[in-house]
Amino acid sequence: MTALAFVHRLEPATASNHPPLLLLHGTGGDESDLLPLGRTVAPGAALLSPRGGVLENGMPRFFRRLAEGVFDEDDLRRRAADLARFVGDARAAYGLPAPVALGFSNGANIAAALLLLHPGVLAGAALLRPMRPLADPPGPDLTETPVLMLSGALDPIVPEANARGLAETFRAAGARVTHTVLPTGHGLSQADVTAVEAWLGPLAAA
């Protein structure tokens, strides 16, 4: 394993028809957590999966929060910059093109922050149960950047208006946003797998 800033796992590509996926786990996950999902939705794609560098009661996260749904935005900005540098270093080390992020919960939120704060680092993002990471987001140029958002109608953590506001923020920046509300809670379901797989299909063909 190349010595990069984040503990991570890399599964090299075995096919050339998918962009690499940057897998970003939720609270309490690790660098192995989303590998099975990545293999399922993008067979043969390179998978780059870092472990969040913040611990909350022993559980890895990508940035600190002050309470449920209340983020430490100063820490979030620092950690997003760290992750952006890691992606650049990993691309150089492993010879990867710009990845598409696939993030769940806390991982979806750091991916959303990457899109807003460091446009160009990601080729797109599939965000599972995301919420707005920044109260006053910048206005980046995300023209034609593909973004999938999958929210849960019964999600007790992410208010519907919050997710809708994030989708509107991405659209205002020029991103091609698909926002689907699934009949589920905060946890992942087969419907998420099916939706991500279908959304990634055209990206693989591009």
Active-site residue, from 105, 151, 179, 192: 105
Beta-strand ranges (E) seen in 57-175 are 59-61, 65-67, 70-71, 100-104, 124-128, 146-152
- The question of whether 105 is a catalytic residue gets the answer yes
Nearest to 116 by CA among 158, 91, 83: 83
Is 18 annotated as catalytic? no
Residue keyed to tokens 């080729």? 123
Query: Is 189 labeled as catalytic in the residue annotation?
Result: no
Contact 153, 184 (CB under 8 A): yes
Q: Is 47 helix (H, G, I), strand (E, B) or coil?
A: strand
CB–CB of 64/77 below 8 Å? no
Angle at 107 between CA 102 and CA 109, to 5 degrees: 105
CA dihedral 29, 34, 35, 39 (to 10 degrees): 170
| Catalytic residue, candidates 8, 18, 155, 192 | 155
Q: Which of 72, 89, 186, 189 is catalytic?
A: 186
- SS3 label, residue 54: strand
Contact 179, 164 (CB under 8 A): yes
Contact yes or no for 32/48 (Cβ under 8 A): no
Q: Looking at the annotation, which residues are catalytic?
A: 105, 155, 186
